[in-house]
């Protein structure tokens, strides 16, 4: 799985001019299922993200996790994280999971994050979404479970 996470002070997702997911202090997580991903992959990634120490502690150092600070997660499916731009100027997305499999893994990931005690909000899988955020820091981290 691939995830792009952003530390935010506020984030929201709008579909058809209606806000369907919104958080305050926490993480905006863009997630993409890749071929070979499983429920186990999802659980490991969720745990890694929840424990990633990217929030400021009392000494203003990045030493606190989402779990530690009691923040929220806004989770948005984004197949474009699988973009292949190696053959020209138009990205290819054939390395992303097929939609049915990807939706199931997305829902599993959302459940995994929630099972860790983190308040979650979501986008809508497959929808044309508008995402608004106030990046805190800015802090943006890329995670890929298949990376060495």
* Annotation says 78 is catalytic: yes
In terms of Cα–Cα distance, which of 81, 74, 82 is closest to 25?
74
Angle (CA) 48 50 54, round 5°: 90
Q: What is the mean pLDDT of the chain?
A: 96
What would the mean pLDDT of 9-19 be, rounded to a whole number?
A: 98
CA–CA dist 91, 122 (Å, integer): 26
Count of Cβ atoms closer than 10 Å to residue 12 Cβ: 20
Rounded distance between C-alpha atoms, residue 33 and residue 42, angstroms:
9
Average pLDDT for 9-34:
98
* Annotated catalytic residue within 30, 55, 79, 109: 79
pTM: 0.95
- What number does CATH give the domain 2-141? 3.50.80.10
State percent of the chain over pLDDT 70.
100
pLDDT tens digits, one per residue of 102-113: 999 999 999 999
CA distance linking residue 139 with residue 6, whole number of Å: 6
User: Which of the residues 6, 14, 78, 120 is marked catalytic?
Assistant: 78
Predicted local confidence at residue 147, as pLDDT:
79
pLDDT of residue 61: 95
């Amino acid at each position: 799985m691939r995830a792009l996470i952003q530390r935010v002070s506020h984030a929201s997702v709008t579909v058809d001019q209606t806000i369907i997911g919104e958080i305050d202090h926490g993480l905006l997580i863009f997630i993409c299922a890749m071929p070979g991903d499983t429920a186990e992959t999802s659980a490991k990634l969720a745990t890694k993200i929840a424990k990633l120490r990217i929030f400021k502690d009392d000494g203003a150092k990045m030493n606190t996790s989402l779990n530690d600070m009691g923040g929220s997660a806004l989770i948005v499916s984004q197949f474009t994280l699988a973009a292949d731009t190696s053959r020209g100027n138009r990205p290819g997305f054939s390395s992303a999971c097929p939609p049915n499999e990807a939706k199931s893994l997305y829902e599993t990931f959302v459940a995994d994050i929630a099972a860790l005690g983190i308040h979650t909000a979501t986008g809508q899988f497959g929808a044309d979404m508008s995402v608004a955020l106030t990046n805190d820091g800015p802090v943006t981290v890329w995670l890929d479970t298949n990376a060495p």
